[in-house]
Amino acid sequence: METSLEAEEAIQDTDAGTLEVRVKQVRYEGNGINSYEFTSPSGEKLPPFEAGSHIDIHLKNGAIRQYSLCNSPAERNRYVIAVLKDEAGRGGSRAMHDDVAAGDIVTISRPRNHFALDGNAKRVILIAGGIGVTPLKAMAHELDTHHVEFEMHYCARNREAAAFSDEFSAMERDGRLHYHFDDGDKRKQLDIMKLLAQPAPGTHVYYCGPSGFMKACADAASHWPKGTVHFEHFKAPDQPKRTPASAESADGCDVTIASTGQVVHLSAGQSLADALDAAGVDVPTSCCAGLCATCKVRYLEGEVEHNDFILSDEERRDYLTACVSRPVSSTLVLDL
């Protein structure tokens, strides 16, 4: 538990609510994978974080991308992320690899967590696919610190494609970390159905990875009790096209800004985020896929079709994500 003095000594926010940090180290972790260590430029402690948290990175090209913190939450002197360079992606990972170097000052957000460990778990199964290992690595550190029993399964093409081999060596030796290298051969893949065949009282499952891996985990864990299975997408899965019955009306929707009374007309087929931006209403966006909650907004009136992968059912009663949520009523009132 941190004291109030420790909190006062933490690095201060900028006026925009972001933090300025220095890139202390960029390190090769595996094929196409670099880790980035951030510290306070003046040596203060960084704001605390929980396992499963991510930060926004403000890149030089103006883009904002989210990356999971993968070091131990007990470390107040640094944040560590790992980035797989994706040549087919939207450019964020390429910008990280090409433009971010040791010594640079980088703007980041405070840590946010939509993938938290359940404090009631007696035992935890962590299942990582590729770079999806990053939030689970932080979880392994936290579970180890609090002496919670866990096992971790790390699926990758081969050992060269697996990150953090040095840090994971102790967990591998003591049998808590199990690698599964398939070299592209499905017969060598982890049998997730077998692993999750029998739910055990007090056991929770956490998984993160690419879309096919996520579907395999979801199918294997479908019979587990509600509240014991937790996951985080780092890429939006394919969704079926909306049918006319679930889409907004052809006339669109009038969106009212509660604080000013301004009415923004949302045309059919237009994203709420785009309509607000065009009208000069500031709602920050990042992933534009319903994954990060950067554009999370409270709504006061109206009916909404939620297409995100981050909000809980409880949150959806009051909040929407402007990038992918669609009003299905003719009016919508936002708490802005």
Q: How far is residue 181's CA from residue 187's CA, in Å, rounded to a whole number?
A: 11
Query: Above 60 in pLDDT, residue 11?
Result: no
Residues 148 and 221 in one domain: yes
Q: Is residue 247 in some structural domain? A: no
Residues 127 and 109 in one domain: no
pLDDT tens digit sequence for 312-322: 788 899 999 99
Residues 285 and 330 in one domain: yes
Instruction: Identify the CATH number of the domain in which residue 34 sits.
Output: 2.40.30.10
Query: Above 60 in pLDDT, residue 250?
Result: no
Instruction: Identify the CATH number of the domain in which residue 304 sits.
Output: 3.10.20.30
Residues 129 and 229 in one domain: yes
Q: Is residue 248 in some structural domain? A: no
Instruction: Identify the CATH number of the domain in which residue 175 sits.
Output: 3.40.50.80
In the structure encoding, which two tokens stand for residue 56, read together? Answer: 């926004």
Residue, of 231 and 91, whose pLDDT is higher: 231
Q: Is residue 229 in some structural domain? A: yes
Q: Is residue 240 in some structural domain? A: no
| Cα 283-11-26 angle, rounded to 5 deg | 85
Q: How far is residue 264's CA from residue 266's CA, in Å, rounded to a whole number?
A: 6
Residues 165 and 127 in one domain: yes
Residues 213 and 258 in one domain: no
Q: Is residue 245 in some structural domain? A: no
Q: How far is residue 143's CA from residue 170's CA, in Å, rounded to a whole number?
A: 15
pLDDT tens digit sequence for 133-166: 999 999 999 999 999 999 999 999 999 999 999 9
pTM of the model as a whole: 0.80
Q: How far is residue 217's CA from residue 199's CA, in Å, rounded to a whole number?
A: 14
Q: How far is residue 321's CA from residue 323's CA, in Å, rounded to a whole number?
A: 6
Residues 15 and 105 in one domain: yes
Query: Above 90 in pLDDT, residue 20?
Result: yes
User: Where among 113, 138, 173 does a domain terminate?
Assistant: 113
- Predicted local distance difference test score (pLDDT) of residue 238: 58
Q: Is residue 118 in some structural domain? A: no
Burial class (CB within 10 angstroms; exposed 0-12, middle 13-18, buried 19+) of 239: exposed
Q: Is residue 243 in some structural domain? A: no
Q: In this structure, are strands 253-257 and 263-266 parallel, antiparallel, or unpaired?
A: antiparallel
Query: Above 70 in pLDDT, residue 5?
Result: no
Burial class (CB within 10 angstroms; exposed 0-12, middle 13-18, buried 19+) of 17: exposed
User: Where among 75, 93, 113 does a domain terminate?
Assistant: 113
User: Where among 113, 133, 158 does a domain terminate?
Assistant: 113
Query: Above 60 in pLDDT, residue 74?
Result: yes
* DSSP per residue, 114-157: SSPPPTT-SEEEEEEEGGGHHHHHHHHHHHHHTT-EEEEEEEES
Q: Is residue 210 in some structural domain? A: yes
Residues 149 and 99 in one domain: no
Amino acid letter at 242? R
Residues 109 and 127 in one domain: no
Query: Above 90 in pLDDT, residue 184?
Result: no
Burial 306-324 (b: 16+ CB within 10 A, else e): bbbbbbeeebeeebbbbbb
| Overall average pLDDT of the 168-177 stretch | 95
| Overall average pLDDT of the 11-29 stretch | 81
| Overall average pLDDT of the 284-291 stretch | 79
| Overall average pLDDT of the 107-131 stretch | 95
Q: Residues near 228 by Cβ (< 8 Å), separated by ≥ 6?
A: 118, 199, 203, 204, 205
Q: Which domain holds residue 284?
A: 253-334
| Overall average pLDDT of the 272-280 stretch | 91
| Cα 212-213-216 angle, rounded to 5 deg | 90
Residues 19 and 95 in one domain: yes
- The secondary structure element, H or E, covering residue 320 is strand 319-321
The count of structural domains within the chain is 3
Average pLDDT, the chain: 88
Amino acid letter at 293? A
Residues 132 and 222 in one domain: yes
Residues 70 and 104 in one domain: yes
